[in-house]
């Protein structure tokens, strides 16, 4: 090949290589630019999303401070649809369980409370009664001899009069006594299994298998409060957990079945309902219920705690257990590992002394801890469980308030679950 042709080929190859190199540089620059724009757009979106709420129907943005403020600012009131709500209780919830044996009683306006006889009682009646109480999992009933009852349970009786798909208390008639000589005791859920009863005392590390109903309530994936699983879809916590800027349901998730505090695997929340009588100044009626968007699957690390019966025979000095990921000392930090502590129920007369809490302790509250301090719930434990071991673990209190943490003479104060059963069952029946 002549020399000048060789030079032309070489120049052509160089030009082709230069063009490829330029094309590659251009593509890289475009990709980098697009990447920068995508990252910038993401951060702008995060900023806008944290400051504004988009009204899809009216195609406008409103400040997030206007969401869940009780006023519809979007078309169709979209900004108020997924909010924490306040719900009142029924005057008297017509079904209840009484005492450690869980004796079934029903309320009728014309007869008041009566104990239900085992006469003609069937499985469908058991299911109906448990459904009234908000439960559908493994309903069971037992028969108790009338002679074993406390005298207050033997003053008035009722029995099934007809099979009906209506309300249980309307399908009963009054009886002077039970023909069968026995009454009904109910177990409506697999809850509060008492396994591994040797507990760590004094705020020590524990595992979720010991307390499988313990929940972490998280706002923007940050732990805010504890909670207690009481059915496959319902949890109980404290009303004050939602009293500030956490009224939008979309901000919340519930993490269950974990010993170590983490934000992965959370379940979104379908509803948050605060007792309508809650008073943020006095802490009275400090209770709320959360409904999950889906039912959970129970196992060794996830199981509901039992709700207490009416007239559970708790007395001063009884041992209770409080659990949570709260501060391990006042002005401390959230614990990464679940903690448990054994505390004692303190007599109401002691806690109501002027030198302790005086009239601030209402009938809807329990006092528990140690008058010398040392053991107590603290920040981050709010809304978490205070449980008592009877035939099973029962939720008797919800961590509510106190003065400091574990200070001498200032025990912890808990919302009494027994005093709120009317409200709890009303919510579970109406919104399940």
In the set 119, 286, 376, 381, the catalytic residue is: 286
Give the per-residue SS3 of the chain: CCHHHHHHHHHHHHHHHHHHHHHHHHHHHHHHHHHHHHHHHHHHHHHHHHHEEEECCCCEEEEHHHCCCCCCCCHHHHHHCCECEEECCCCCCCEEEECCCCEEEEEECCCEEEEEECCCCCHHHHHHHHHHCCCCCCCEEEEEEHHHCCHHHHCCEEEECCCCCCCHHHCEEEECCCCCCEEEEEECCCCCCCCCCCCCCCCEECCCCCCCCEEEEEECCEEEEEEEECCCCEEEECHHHHCCCCCEHHHEEEEECCCECCCCCCEEEEEEEEECCCCCCCCCCCCEEEEECCCCCCECCECCCECCCECCCCCCCCEEEEEECCCCCCCCCCCCECEEEEEEECCHHHHCCCCCCHHHCCCCEEEEECCCCCCCCCCCCCCCEEEEECCCEEEEEEEEECCCCCECCECEEEEECHHHHHHHHHHHHHHC
Which regions in the chain score pLDDT beneath 70? 1-18, 40-59, 62, 64-67, 69-72, 75-82, 90, 162-170, 194-203, 244-246, 327-332, 373-380, 403-409
Give me the catalytic one of 132, 169, 223, 240. Answer: 240
Domain range 209-302+423-431, its CATH number among 2.40.10.10, 3.40.50.2000, 3.30.1370.60, 2.60.40.10: 2.40.10.10
At residue 267, the pLDDT reads 95
Identical fold for domains 95-187 and 318-417, yes or no, is: no
Q: Is 128 in the active site?
A: no
* pLDDT on residue 315: 92
Active site residue 300: no
CATH superfamily of 95-187: SRCR-like domain (3.10.250.10)
The average confidence (pLDDT) of the chain is 82
pLDDT of 197 reads 42
Q: What is the residue extent of each domain of the chain? A: 51-83, 95-187, 209-302+423-431, 318-417
Could you tell me which CATH class the domain 318-417 is placed in? mainly beta
pTM of the predicted model as reported, rounded to 2 decimal places:
0.79
Catalytic residue flag (residue 382): yes
Among the options 382, 390, 400, 426, which is catalytic?
382
């Amino acid at each position: 090949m002549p020399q000048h042709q060789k030079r032309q080929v070489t120049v052509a190859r160089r030009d082709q290589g230069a063009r490829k190199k330029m094309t590659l540089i251009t593509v890289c620059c475009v990709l980098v630019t697009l990447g920068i724009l995508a990252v910038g757009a993401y951060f702008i979106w995060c900023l806008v999303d944290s400051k504004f709420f988009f009204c899809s129907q009216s195609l406008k943005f409103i400040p997030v401070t206007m969401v869940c403020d009780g006023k519809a600012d979007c078309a169709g009131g979209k900004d108020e649809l997924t909010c924490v709500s306040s719900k009142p209780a029924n005057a008297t919830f017509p079904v209840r369980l009484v005492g450690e044996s869980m004796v079934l009683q029903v309320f009728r306006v014309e007869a008041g409370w009566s104990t239900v006889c085992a006469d003609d009682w069937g499985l469908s009646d058991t299911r109906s009664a448990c459904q009234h109480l908000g439960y559908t999992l493994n309903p069971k009933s037992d028969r108790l001899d009338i002679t074993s009852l406390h005298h207050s349970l033997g003053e008035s009786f009722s029995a099934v009069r007809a099979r009906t798909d209506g309300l249980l208390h309307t399908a009963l008639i009054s009886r002077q006594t039970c023909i069968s000589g026995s009454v009904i005791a109910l177990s409506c859920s697999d809850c509060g299994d008492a396994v591994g009863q040797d507990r760590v005392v004094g705020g020590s590390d524990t595992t979720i298998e010991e307390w499988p109903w313990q929940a972490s309530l998280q706002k923007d994936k940050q732990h805010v409060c504890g909670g207690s699983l009481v059915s496959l879809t319902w949890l109980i916590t404290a009303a004050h957990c939602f009293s500030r800027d956490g009224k939008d349901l979309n901000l919340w998730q519930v993490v269950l079945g974990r010993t170590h505090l983490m934000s992965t695997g959370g379940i979104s929340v379908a509803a948050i309902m605060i007792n309508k009588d809650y008073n943020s100044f006095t802490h009275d009626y400090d209770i709320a219920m959360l409904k999950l968007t889906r039912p959970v699957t129970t196992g060794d690390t996830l199981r509901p705690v039992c709700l207490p019966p009416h007239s559970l025979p708790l007395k001063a000095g009884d041992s209770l257990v409080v659990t949570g990921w709260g501060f391990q000392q006042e002005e401390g930090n959230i614990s990464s590992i679940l903690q448990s502590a054994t505390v004692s129920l303190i007599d109401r007369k002691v806690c109501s002394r002027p030198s302790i809490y005086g009239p601030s302790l209402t009938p809807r509250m329990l006092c528990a801890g140690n008058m010398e301090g040392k053991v107590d719930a603290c920040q981050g434990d709010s809304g978490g469980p205070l449980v008592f071991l009877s035939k099973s673990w029962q939720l008797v209190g919800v961590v509510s308030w106190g003065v400091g943490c574990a200070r001498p003479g200032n025990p912890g104060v808990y919302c009494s679950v027994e005093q709120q059963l009317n409200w709890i069952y009303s919510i579970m029946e109406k919104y399940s």
